[in-house]
Structure 1
Amino acid sequence: MMPELGKYAGAVLSSYAVALGLLAVIVGLSLWRAARVKRALDAVEARQEGKR
């Protein structure tokens, strides 16, 4: 299933590993920020409920 990469195998596989790692970091940061923004929005909405 794996194509023959020859002498470039190390470079190609390490490039894939770096790309996958960066994607994982981006997804993790996106989820972390979404949770932080949701908490902030919930706090604003709770304050709005108290004013009514």
Structure 2
Amino acid sequence: MMPELGKYADTVLSAYVASIALLGLLVVVSLWRGRRVRAEMKEIEERAARNG
């Protein structure tokens, strides 16, 4: 399944690892930000409901 990369194996594999790590970080940051924004929106809606 793995192609023979020869002398470039380290470079190619490290690029794959870096790409996967950056994509994972992007997903984590997006989820974290989404939760934060959702909590802020809930707080704003509750405040608006109280103030009429």
Both proteins in one fold, TM over 0.5: yes
SS of the equivalent of 1:44 reads helix
Question: Aligned pairs, how many?
Answer: 52
Percent identity between the two aligned chains = 46
List gaps (5 residues or longer) in structure 1: none
Indicate the residue corresponding to 2:42 in structure 1: 42
Question: Root-mean-square deviation (CA), in Å?
Answer: 0.5
Q: Distance in 2 between matches of 1:40 and 1:16?
A: 36
Amino acid at match of 1:46: E
Indicate the residue corresponding to 2:28 in structure 1: 28
TM-score by length of 1: 0.96
List gaps (5 residues or longer) in structure 2: none
Q: Distance in 2 between matches of 1:4 and 1:25?
A: 29
Hey, which bits of structure 1, 4+ residues long, moved more than 2 A?
none
